[in-house]
Amino acid sequence: MPIRPFEQHIPRIHLTAYVDETALVVGDVEIGQDSSVWPMSVVRGDIQSIRIGARTSIQDGTIIHVTHDSRFCPGGQPTTIGNDVTVGHKVILHACTIEDFCLIGMGAIVMDKAIVPSRVTIGAGSVVPPGKVLESGFLYVGSPVKQIRLLNERELEFLEYSAQNYQRLKDRHRAMHVPSEATSAPTSVSPETPPPRTRTRRSTIPKRR
């Protein structure tokens, strides 16, 4: 089952979001409007919370996790991802903050309490070490990351384009798996309060295979 509770916590996923059937979303997780979680990704909010904003894509094989409450990290540390973020394939995001309109390149790692502010690109395979705070508007590359240069206008435009592109793509995937009436459903849903069912005669319901 790709979406499952942990103890008292149940994932809250917007009705317009897309979670691939091979992905796994567990526990105290929120996924916002028009966001997407792609094949083989893991979003595990068991010992702290994970918040994913709107129009953000979590691409194939990505792992998102958090840090537990201990004397080494009092209160624990959640992971927060903003709006219009592109998280590339096989990224690891651990107890960090990613703000709006960022691109996290394939295979990158962002560690505990690191902060990636809005409109930043992290190069593929790069590592953002624990507690590192980056500066908005720059390209960062390396392990550990180093600030390379300001993003140019085309690169800044691409950050918005990338988010929009994945929003369109997730709609194509949803169209293959989700009944069309779901697109007009309420703007949010929680497993504790499912939307009311509309009664329909049995003969008019197509069998799902």
- pLDDT, tens digit, for every residue of 98-150? 999 999 999 999 999 999 999 999 999 999 999 999 999 999 999 999 999 99
Instruction: Look up the CATH architecture of domain 3-187.
Output: 3 Solenoid (2.160)
pLDDT grade for 196, boundaries at 50, 70 and 90? very low
Both structure tokens of 144: 């550990």
74: Cβ–Cβ under 8 A, 6 or more apart, which residues? Answer: none
Q: How large is the average pLDDT for residues 84-98?
A: 98
In angstroms, what is the C-alpha Rg of the chain? 18
What's the CA gap between 101 and 192, in Å, rounded?
A: 31
Strands 138-142, 145-150: pairing is: antiparallel
pTM comes to 0.84
Residue 75 has a pLDDT of 94
pLDDT at 81 over 70: yes
Residue 178 has a pLDDT of 58
Dihedral of CA 124/58/138/159: which sign?
positive
pLDDT at 184 over 60: no
Q: Where is pLDDT greater, at 167 or 202?
A: 167
> What mean pLDDT value characterizes the chain?
88
In the three-class reduction of DSSP (H, G, I as helix; E, B as strand; rest coil), residue 171 is classed as helix
Element (H, E) at 198: none
Both structure tokens of 89: 């394939």
Residue 191 has a pLDDT of 41
Residue 208 has a pLDDT of 42
- pLDDT, tens digit, for every residue of 43-58? 999 999 999 999 999 9
What's the CA gap between 114 and 112, in Å, rounded?
A: 6
For the chain, which residues make up each domain, given as ranges?
Answer: 3-187
Termini Cα distance of the chain: 17
pLDDT at 179 over 90: no
